[in-house]
Structure 1
Amino acid sequence: MRPILLQGHERSLTQIKFNAEGDLLFSCSKDHVINVWYSHNGERLGTYEGNNGTVWTVDVDHETRFLVSGSADNTLRLWSVATGKCLYTWEFPTAVKRVAFNEDATQVVCITEQRMGFQCAIRVFDINRREGEESNQSEEPRHFFNPIGSKATVCAFTLLPNVIITGHESGKVALFNVKTGEEINNNERAHSDVVTDLQLSKDRTYCVTSSKDKAARIHDIKTLLVVKTFTTETPLNSAALAPNRPYVLLGGGQEAMNVTTTSLRQGKFETRFWHKVYEEEVGRVKGHFGPINTIAIHPAGTSYASGGEDGFVRVHHFDDSYFNAQPYGAVEIED
């Protein structure tokens, strides 16, 4: 698996995301820039410029028409994927740490930071998708609430209308009704440290979370019960679910500020493949010179990408041996 190295950022990566077809890969970093690449050959297609701070998070809609980004300059921005134009900017008192579209991209949810006397807030905005009116968005959120207790770090829409799933600084995972701001359900002990990433399965019935407590867990979205646990010996920053294959990809590594004191081997800067059912580690891929901050998998499961503290995105296209392997032994599982 020879990686394609994408060199388009000067500082560490914060999030990477494939579009629904998987032909484009979006990356954002602490250097204020969002890049878009062709995923098959790593050619840079363009950049989205205009943020004045670290871009913490991006999401792209199912039609690859709109892109949303959240940044340390306290803005949520809506971009046209095709033209690179910023269509609309929402401004807040604090930084935007996470953004996510709902399934049909008619709404976007964002989490703003708890800072300078402001509470952590979750806002949901309606997205006007009418042709020619893309710049005409409503300034006010459709829903707004402050999650009680520990501040939220990650979020995503579930299949239930008006229900989002959140991961928190305390390690809890919760379901909120965005209309009322009420916490419908929670698992206080999902993790014992901050939840760093949350990615949904293709059918949105379960999700995987990673945490600084060195574990990743699969949760049933309805009940929030922990179904599977993958325990490593390094803090985790990202976890992704491989479609069509029973694997979970985990990335992390020792904190960047302590990296100079450890060798690459000890730093554990590999992407780890774990068997989703048997909870066993089945492989590792090396390459980054620092912690892996974000992992994304191609929607068809043919490749994956990782973004690191070293400022590089590495795209790996899986070899034939990956597809020929029999993850359940001699049993053939029908998709």
Structure 2
Amino acid sequence: MDKKKVAVPLVCHGHSRPVVDLFYSPVTPDGFFLISASKDSSPMLRNGETGDWIGTFEGHKGAVWSCCLDTNALRAATASADFSSKVWDALTGDELHSFEHKHIVRACAFSEDSLLLLTGGLEKILRIYDLNRPDAPPREIEKSPGSIRTVTWLHNDQTILSSCTDMGGVRLWDIRSGQIVHTLDTKSSVTSTEVSRDGHYIVTADGSTVKFWDANLYSLVKSYDMPCTVESASLEPKYGNKFVAGGEDMWVRVFDFHTGHEIACNKGHHGPVHCVRFSPGGESYASGSEDGTIRIWQTGPLTNDESESILENGSVAMVKVDADEVSRKIEGLHVADEGKSREKEEAGEE
């Protein structure tokens, strides 16, 4: 039997309740960043390479279920059980907009051009906010068959993907007509959706399977049975040759994309893994757990071919973060008093 490498992750503490969502920014001139959502109502921003805490966004009064950063990592968005979705200045931590809903908001996503914010939740309504006109009423698409669990943009913001909490399938909506144009059929409810960086694949996790769909033909390309019920999966963005998955058994596993063979099994979390995501360059991936921690795992030494490719496109140089520069940019970001989040009401938790 092949010996599997034992990885020692960077462990990021700070959340006092389960971590339920993670999102990496693209690479920016200042490096790349990681934002986390937690039931403790206090989303956190970190240096994506080192995991170092940068700041906490304060203002939600319930569990935060979803989080994201815009293309330049200048703004953050969050979706919460306090019936609101908020947009934040990612440099100062200031709340820029608060969009009120009539029920728990489970998902949010910036459009690729960062001009629109998409939200969904227990109201079964997709809402699209124009961030250039934040006071204007949002566009509403009111025909989701169930409460919305995940939302994702596709096809240069022309298509929306959404999955439901209480039924299988991923629905693809045409942004112009507001109609469902296709459904990716799954037996179980889809708990995680991701569009690969090259736009070729839609990655879904449902029940104990991870599936890869052709993002243009909507056909099923690969489906792999997992060792346990999985909550989240993510495809390596640079070469697309492996993917990571995590779920109920508390382990973070890496698989070969082409064969489904397990490459690594990383142990360390003390509760189910709710979310996994690859960093934008593929050199690491993060996992968030019921145990309240985030762990950042390195993918291991690259092959010579991979190293040459990385040196050629300069991505290694791009992801090195100047800590002083980051500190200057985030000066003034609100800092939560230690232990404060523990005292907050766990309002709106399902």
- Taking structure 2 as the reference length, what is the TM-score of the superposition? 0.80
Equivalent pair of 2:255/2:262 in contact (CA under 8 Å): yes
Match of 2:10 in 1: 4
Which shifted more, 165-174 or 4-13? 165-174
The residue number in structure 2 matching 1:175 is: 172
Q: Is residue 123 of structure 1 aligned with residue 120 of structure 2?
A: no
After TM superposition, the structure 1 = structure 2 runs for residues 194-273 of structure 1, keeping only pairs within 5 Å, are 194-211=189-206, 213-245=207-239, 246-253=241-248, 268-273=249-254
The 1:86/1:148 distance shift into structure 2, 3 A limit, reads closer
Amino acid at match of 2:255: W
Structure 2 SS opposite 1:192: strand
Measured in 1, the distance between the counterparts of 2:189 and 2:220 equals: 16
* 1:287-323 deviation digits (Å, cap 9, x = unpaired): 1011000111110011111000000001122321xx2
Are 1:12 and 1:30, in contact at CA under 8 Å, matched by a contact in 2?
Answer: yes
Note closer, same or farther for the CA distance 1:301–1:284 as it changes in structure 2 (3 Å cut): same
The equivalent of 1:313 in structure 2 is 294
Q: Please point out which of 284, 301, 314 is paired with 1:303.
A: 284
Does the 8 A contact of 2:125 with 2:144 survive in 1? Answer: no
CA deviation after TM superposition for structure 1 residue 160, in Å:
4.7
Q: Whose relative contact order is higher, 1 or 2, with alpha carbons under 8 Å and at least 6 apart?
A: 2
| Counterpart residue type for residue 106 of structure 1 | L
- Shift of the 325–13 alpha-carbon distance from structure 1 to 2, 3 Å rule, reads farther
Q: Distance in 2 between matches of 1:150 and 1:39?
A: 34
2:133 paired with 1:152: no
Instruction: Give deviations 1:19-54, integer Å, cap 9, x for gaps.
Output: 111632111100000111123332211110000000
Identity %: 26
Whether the aligned pair in 1 keeps the contact of 2:198 and 2:237 (CA below 8 Å) is no
Offset, 1:155? 1.6
Q: What is the CA distance between 1:175 and its match in structure 2?
A: 1.0
| Number of residue-to-residue matches in the alignment | 297
RMSD: 2.0
- Deviation by residue 1:54-87 (Cα, 9 ceiling, x = unmatched): 0000110111111110000000101000000000
TM-superposed deviation, 1:174: 1.8
Query: Following the alignment from structure 1 to structure 2, what is the Cα–Cα distance between the partners of residues 70 and 59?
Result: 9
8 Å Cα contact 1:163/1:178 also seen in 2:
yes
Q: 2: CA distance between counterparts of 1:319 and 1:162?
A: 37
| 1:204 shift after superposition | 2.1
Q: Aligned pair 1:35/2:44, yes or no?
A: yes
Q: Distance in 2 between matches of 1:241 and 1:325?
A: 21
Q: Which runs of 5+ in 1 are unaligned?
A: 115-119, 129-135, 254-267, 328-333
Query: Which sections of structure 2, spanning at least 5 residues, go unmatched?
Result: 1-6, 307-311, 314-350
Any idea what the Cα deviations from partners look like across 1:79-99, whole Å, max 9, x if unmatched? 000000000101010011011
> What is the alpha-carbon distance in structure 2 between the residues aligned to residue 152 and residue 85 of structure 1?
28
Hey, which bits of structure 1, 4+ residues long, moved more than 3 A?
none
